[in-house]
Amino acid sequence: MKSHRPFQQYDYGCALVSGLVALCLLVTLLLGACQSMPQASAPATVTRTQMLMGTLVRITAVASSEAQAQASATAGFQEIRRLEDLLSTWIATSELSRVNAAAGREPVAVSPDTLLIVQRSLDMARLTDGGFNIAIGPVVEAWSVAERQRVPSDRELETVRPLTDLTQVSLDEQARTVFLARSGMRIDVGGIGKGFAADRAVTAMQQAGATAGVVALSGDIKTFGRMPGGRPFAFGIQHPRKEGALLARLTLQDEAISTAGDYERFFEREGTRYHHILDPATLRPARGCQSVTIVATEGAMADGLDTGIFVMGPEAGMALIERLPGVEGVIVDSEGRVLVSSGLKGRLQLEPAAP
């Protein structure tokens, strides 16, 4: 999966922004001026940063006044903090932590939001033929790509395979409970939760009066509206094999973007790259792609699809993208070839250094 820590570090700036996506995305957001506009009749723009969900979260809000822009940004942060308290597996009292602690024993009553994101995660698993799996944490630990940099034995991996079986995750919508049937199972929605939180934060900001803005959680980015003067939000996609270089640029409006890549956490052994995006079928690093970038109307969709499609591989993954309404994508396959979905071909600008 993209990451099985709850959330990852991301850096996101104001006038010219670059950050490495948890989804492994280098973002350059051209906001022009991010400070409040001095003209009385002009909209106000504010950008604020807080540490939430284990990462740096930046929110830019545009509203009719500075006070309203500040209030909108505050509403966005408050919504993200509320979801963190429900979903973070680093918080012992969170609902997901209680679900994991009760694995093999009993169902746990949860809030509608927790039930919804677990359901969305299971739907994403079905959509990607099992490529997205919120129960793969024990396999991630067996690899510990960033820490131990060792290749686990087949026996080690097969020992934990039963703990990744999503058929053992049961939801009762009427009772509003989640039950993990096997002791030792645990679920982590870090691979979809940041996009989900970005969606909810945008809704909260709009309800508080924001007319445009950006929410960035560890590289999972959601935009709405346009900047003052009608400027769109411009983004750059990190080249998966050229550190610090861009593969392509595009602009977004009322869309989300997220990338999964094999270049953020990996080690090499005897000429083989072992990275953190694991195939739930083989329990080993997925081999078909170098990176997958998804553009979608929903942050949760972009966040979950990038990992699932990375595991599916370039051909099946692009076929899925083309079937899904409101979803576009850029896939760099294992040989470095760039595949662009039909809806992005008129919008995407490949950089000269790109393959």
Provide the percentage of residues in the chain whose pLDDT is more than 70: 87
CA distances for 29 relative to 242, 250, 267, 331, angstroms: 20, 10, 30, 21
CATH value of 95-190 in 1.10.3980.10, 2.60.40.10, 3.40.50.150, 3.40.50.1980: 1.10.3980.10
- For residue 83, the model assigns a pLDDT of 98
How far is the C-alpha of 349 from the C-alpha of 81, rounded, in Å?
36
Ranges of each domain in the chain = 95-190
- The overall average pLDDT reported for the chain is 87
Residue 168: Cβ-neighbour burial (10 angstroms; 0-12, 13-18, 19+): middle
The least confident of 113-117, 258-262, 313-317, 351-355 is: 351-355
pLDDT > 50? residue 257: yes
- For residue 274, the model assigns a pLDDT of 73
- For residue 267, the model assigns a pLDDT of 73
3-class secondary structure, 305? helix
Q: Of 200, 206, 199, whose CA–CA distance to 257 is shortest?
A: 199
3-class secondary structure, 275? strand
pLDDT tens-digit series, residues 303-343: 999 999 999 999 999 999 999 999 999 999 999 999 999 99
How far is the C-alpha of 355 from the C-alpha of 347, rounded, in Å?
18
The average pLDDT across 71-98 equals 97
Sign of CA dihedral 259, 260, 262, 264: positive
Q: Check if the beta carbon of residue 223 is closer than 8 Å to that of residue 233.
A: yes
Task: For residue 223, give every residue at least 6 positions away whose Cβ sits within 8 Å of its Cβ, in sequence order, or none.
Answer: 212, 213, 214, 233, 252, 253, 254, 255, 256
pLDDT tens-digit series, residues 166-177: 999 999 999 999
The average pLDDT across 237-265 equals 92
Task: For residue 165, give every residue at least 6 positions away whose Cβ sits within 8 Å of its Cβ, in sequence order, or none.
Answer: 135, 182
pLDDT > 90? residue 163: yes
The average pLDDT across 275-283 equals 93
Q: Check if the beta carbon of residue 103 is closer than 8 Å to that of residue 185.
A: yes
Confidence of residue 57 (pLDDT cuts 50, 70, 90): very high
The average pLDDT across 183-207 equals 97
- DSSP one-letter string for 111-131: -HHHHHHHHHHHHHHHHTTT-
The average pLDDT across 175-198 equals 97
How far is the C-alpha of 190 from the C-alpha of 173, rounded, in Å?
22
Alpha-helix residue ranges (DSSP H) falling in 36-169: 66-87, 95-101, 112-127, 137-143, 154-160
The amino acid sitting at 198 is A
- For residue 319, the model assigns a pLDDT of 98
Query: Which single residue is written with the structure tokens 């966005």?
Result: 76
What angle is formed at CA 197 by the lines to CA 192 and CA 200, rounded to 5 degrees?
A: 130
pLDDT > 90? residue 155: yes
Alpha carbon 120 to chain centroid distance? Answer: 14
pLDDT > 70? residue 289: yes
Which H/E stretch holds residue 63?
Answer: strand 55-63
Name the range with the highest mean pLDDT among 23-32, 272-281, 325-334. 325-334
How far is the C-alpha of 280 from the C-alpha of 84, rounded, in Å?
26
Confidence of residue 41 (pLDDT cuts 50, 70, 90): low
Confidence of residue 39 (pLDDT cuts 50, 70, 90): very low
pLDDT > 50? residue 45: yes
Provide the percentage of residues in the chain whose pLDDT is more than 90: 74
The average pLDDT across 275-296 equals 95
Token pair in block for residue 21: 């996506």
The least confident of 108-117, 129-138, 225-234, 326-335 is: 225-234
pTM of the model: 0.87
The average pLDDT across 282-299 equals 96
How far is the C-alpha of 352 from the C-alpha of 355, rounded, in Å?
8
How far is the C-alpha of 302 from the C-alpha of 341, rounded, in Å?
14
